[in-house]
Structure 1
């Protein structure tokens, strides 16, 4: 009788750890006693009480069973049909085996108990007549495969759901990046509006000095002010028109529709069935209604049996990302309205200045700059209205973050 014979079937595959000097015979016997007396699996005993790594344990299994080893990787493209067949047996849930790959006719299985006859019978009964390859894998990692690909709420593997949700988070992040670019463009336009405001102010000041009589100290000052104002106005107008063309095909409706499209995953992976708060009125706009369906949720899924915690956290991250996406769209619409109001305010100021100069000095051959100021003011008012009017209702219905609005007591 060999030394391994006194160990149980659960502890025996880890006997190569003794020959490698990672533990003693007494450690193996202690692990075997913990398994027989308290049902503490040797794999758990070695990792938690003796501090061995998963790599060490995995290598020991490979040496004992003379198999290549496999580490858990959630990115493995496990075919869904194989996973569905596997769950007809008890082995995957118990952490004994799980199919991990199909290459033409060859099926690859992760096994933690290769010498178990019941495991081999289960595999052969579900996948008869197929060439098979086996790889040594820790029991805990086989259980992770089973948990990731178990069928859950949406009648699909949890691991596939998590991958799809990660895809949707990337999609939402990409859309928020585009919205941020739009807000940057709007800030760019408002920056050149400030330059344009300064240039029109110089034109108005130079025109006033010119009409009032040249100052004796600096006789060319009115002409310099007008020339600088016209130059700055031409540069700022060119920069603004170039930026304005980028927005000619981007309407508030297209922003809202795109935001709604990237939130479509909520209908497939989430069940937003909580009642609407009693004091919350139904919004009139599409974006407002999108915000309504998310304001109640900080976390929409409580941990359940059979889920690993990261599945729950992945779903929660998606809902929080959806909330950020809706609010990013609101910020973009508010930035567009703010841009329109800035143009409207500047246009009213410049129009008032031109009309004031024209009424004070009267209409004459020297009133061309007054007419320029009036025309610029009217154009700014019209452009500001074009920016502001389409979005006047959208940003007014911004959802409130109710977990911040509640009283502390």
Structure 2
């Protein structure tokens, strides 16, 4: 049917007369029962051009862009009803009705709904919890290394007493120091070595580069090893968001849900960087311990020169050197790079426009290229006192 040159209501009236049924336009209040929607593929309904509002007493109320007997028969077979009452609407309005029931803004994929985005945020929260567990283990390893240093100090002091003061009744002091140092050394290493194995299990610190709510973060491979990918930029999404003050509260909440998901991804990325840097700190703690033993070994060799204790002194030097190398490996193998990338990420975020630019354009700088004219705040003097915010 030719509708060019007609305004919206003229077009709806013409469609109503053509198909012999009442017309309806898009409204956020047009929804269908959840149990009915669960039986249907809303993406298929977009292609077929219809949407069911309700089923009562064997009759289905259906919104369609092109009602026909064939479509009515298909709906009867699909919904198991006896009759179909059509309401006609424009194709664009039908799309918006279906998208509204998918809880998405115009043009966005189904994954942009608040429920799918909440699922993505849950997986991101689980990833951050994993990083937190890793950091706890690394803190335990650093505590163990402190125990190792203390144990070595006790052992060294006891052996120095033996070398300088001899044995005799001083064994009452030297032996407990030696035993205590050995116990602390073994216990500290017992805390450290299991943590060393987690390095290979750390996920890669990767981001999908948020686009300010114009694309959608999705999760894949949920049952095994979840990973995240971002859709392409949705056509018209930036222009739609630029008119923030004209958006309905529901549409704003959808954008805010997307923003929260982007922030959750950013927090997860920074948590990954913190975990890598925690590994670097653990390595540097190992390096400090190694350098301490290395220095002690050289000091003993220089002071006592060649003696029957020389193997012990050289052992301190060798062990200290190996510990220093091990610690530097942890630092340079990912830890230092994580610090550099984390700093770049933070600087990049500071250079981007903030979510508050949409709320309070009078108080925050507008993104480059945005209309500089002041937009009215979406609050009124009649509102109740309190902190203004948007739920969702």
- The number of aligned residues is 288
Task: Answer yes or no: is 1:255 the counterpart of 2:204.
Answer: yes
* Superposed counterparts of 1:49-128, under 5 Å: 72=34, 76=38, 78-84=40-46, 88=49, 97-98=52-53, 109-110=54-55, 122=67, 126-128=71-73
- Retained in 2: the 8 A contact 1:83–1:149? no
Candidates 257, 271, 274, aligned match of 1:314: 257
CA distance in structure 2 between the partners assigned to 1:166 and 1:200 by the alignment: 51
CA distance in structure 2 between the partners assigned to 1:304 and 1:110 by the alignment: 34
Distance verdict in 2 for CA 1:170–1:208, change over 3 Å? same
Distance verdict in 2 for CA 1:195–1:77, change over 3 Å? farther
Structure 2 counterpart SS, 1:239: helix
- Retained in 1: the 8 A contact 2:103–2:254? no
- Retained in 2: the 8 A contact 1:190–1:342? yes
* Runs of 5+ consecutive residues of structure 1 not aligned to the other structure: 1-40, 45-69, 99-108, 135-142, 275-298
CA distance in structure 2 between the partners assigned to 1:389 and 1:317 by the alignment: 33
> For the pair shown, which has the larger CA radius of gyration, 1 or 2?
1
- Retained in 1: the 8 A contact 2:283–2:331? yes
1:210-230 residue CA offsets vs partner (Å, 9 max, x unmatched): 111148874431232122212
1:42-80 residue CA offsets vs partner (Å, 9 max, x unmatched): xx9xxxxxxxxxxxxxxxxxxxxxxxxx85579836412
CA distance in structure 2 between the partners assigned to 1:74 and 1:236 by the alignment: 61
Structure 2 counterpart SS, 1:365: coil
* Superposed counterparts of 1:191-206, under 5 Å: 191-206=143-158
CA distance in structure 1 between the partners assigned to 2:36 and 2:323 by the alignment: 56
TM-score by length of 1: 0.57
Candidates 146, 163, 178, aligned match of 1:226: 178
- Retained in 2: the 8 A contact 1:207–1:222? yes
- Retained in 1: the 8 A contact 2:297–2:316? yes
Q: What is the aligned partner in structure 1 of residue 134 from structure 2?
A: 182
Task: Answer yes or no: is 1:236 the counterpart of 2:188.
Answer: yes
Q: Give the root-mean-square deviation of aligned CA atoms.
A: 4.5
Distance verdict in 2 for CA 1:323–1:146, change over 3 Å? closer
Task: Report how far residue 301 of structure 1 moved.
Answer: 10
Task: Answer yes or no: is 1:394 the counterpart of 2:338.
Answer: yes
Structure 2 counterpart SS, 1:256: coil
Distance verdict in 2 for CA 1:162–1:202, change over 3 Å? same
CA distance in structure 2 between the partners assigned to 1:259 and 1:182 by the alignment: 23
CA distance in structure 1 between the partners assigned to 2:117 and 2:160 by the alignment: 64
Task: Report how far residue 316 of structure 1 moved.
Answer: 1.3
CA distance in structure 1 between the partners assigned to 2:124 and 2:266 by the alignment: 10
Distance verdict in 2 for CA 1:123–1:162, change over 3 Å? farther
TM-score by length of 2: 0.59
* Runs of 5+ consecutive residues of structure 2 not aligned to the other structure: 1-26, 82-95, 210-218, 220-225, 355-362, 366-392
Task: Report how far residue 185 of structure 1 moved.
Answer: 1.9
Q: What is the aligned partner in structure 2 of residue 169 from structure 1?
A: 121
Task: Report how far residue 162 of structure 1 moved.
Answer: 3.8
CA distance in structure 2 between the partners assigned to 1:154 and 1:387 by the alignment: 47
